[in-house]
Amino acid sequence: MATAPESLAREVVAEEEPRVSRPGLAAAYMLFACLLFTFMALFVKRATRDVSFLEAAAGRAGFGALTIFAMARARGVSLRVSDRGLQWRRTLAGTVSMCCGFYALSRLPLGDAVTIGNLTPLLLAVLSPILLGERSGSSVWGAVVLGLLGVGLLAGVHLAHPAGLWLGVLAGIGGAFFSSLAMAYLRRLGKKESPEGVSLHFAAWGALLTFVASLPGFRVPTPTALLALVGAGLFGGFAQVAMTRAYSLDEAARVSAIGYSGVVFSQAIGVVVLHEMPTGRQLVGAALVVGSGVLLALSGQRKR
């Protein structure tokens, strides 16, 4: 992961076959993945009351790997990954991102952590021309800016945290950066690998790496925490496959920008599950986020 962006850019080779782009289907997969990831975050939030964020990451990845493996076997999908170098970059970036994001979830309220995590689309829009050679058109950039304005309104109340929570904020930002790298690698892998194979490699190795890292402070999970980890793994496993499929169907910047919908889902689930009523500022921000997703979907259909 210490490779410089310039050297990564040189590794982007010309495709031998025309790229298959299906923006509408990619948007549907990404929206579904965002919803599942929101439920996963709820389970992780509950689990970290009793176990460390590293144990939560290991449990989420481990149970997620079992879910993905079962899905692949049921569908008869190959789990073989041919480009091991690129897959390892995706796995390492995704594992670091998961650890940072789970630490943020353990320190911050759910809405804070989800909102900060949605810096990923902005960072990916900046990295896509370098890592993927994808040009970002005016419609894509307009949608990204609109989504960022919405996230800014939603995140405004999160900038006045006590000093003790700033580590969580910084971890969330770091998680978003490594997530943007992982998403770029997903776009490249999705052209030639199965979503299940890519997702299983990340989940299985991520579980092993985080479990080893958690051993010094390991705590035996309570029954409630264990159930929460199982739930996080199930939702995270299905979400991982859906997200990987989305990145195989459309340009990374546009697909990732649709990830802003996760902020909307977290606010809605917060009302239903946590009884947190949004303010007017949050509602305006949510409307801008939804507007950015609609703009991206329309621009994708026009391009197609």
226 versus 280: the higher-pLDDT residue is 226
Position 16 in a domain: no
Q: Please compute the mean of the pLDDT values over residues 147-174 and round it to a whole number.
A: 67
pLDDT single digits (tens) 161-184: 555 567 777 888 899 889 888 888
Position 11 in a domain: no
Structure tokens at 150: 């919405």
Position 202 in a domain: yes
Structure tokens at 151: 């996230």
pLDDT category at 296 given cuts 50, 70, 90 is low
pLDDT of residue 294: 66
Range of the domain at 259: 21-303
Alpha carbons 3 and 41: distance in angstroms, whole number:
30
Q: Where are the alpha helices (DSSP H) in the chain?
A: 5-10, 23-47, 53-75, 84-107, 110-117, 120-131, 138-155, 166-189, 195-214, 223-247, 252-257, 261-273, 280-303
Position 2 in a domain: no
Position 3 in a domain: no
Percent of the chain at pLDDT exceeding 70:
75
Classified as helix, coil or strand, 251 is coil
Single-letter amino acid code for the residue at 268: A
Angle, CA of 290, 124 and 213, to the nearest 5°:
110
Spatial CB neighbours of 74, under 8 Å, sequence gap ≥ 6:
none
Position 14 in a domain: no
Q: Which range, of 38-42, 190-194, 202-206, 237-241, averages the lowest pLDDT?
A: 190-194
> Residue 219 to residues 214, 222, 226: CA-CA distances in angstroms?
9, 9, 11
Domain count, the chain: 1
Closest by CA to 208, choosing from 58, 65, 8, is 58
Query: Could you give the dihedral angle defined by the CA atoms of residues 162, 107, 31 and 143, in that order, rounded to the nearest 10 degrees?
Result: 30
Position 52 in a domain: yes
Indicate if the pLDDT at residue 41 is higher than 80.
Answer: yes
Alpha carbons 157 and 188: distance in angstroms, whole number:
36
Q: Round to the nearest angstrom and report the end-to-end CA distance of the chain.
A: 34
Position 273 in a domain: yes
> Residue 297 to residues 132, 143, 243, 267, 292: CA-CA distances in angstroms?
21, 10, 16, 22, 9
pLDDT of residue 2: 41
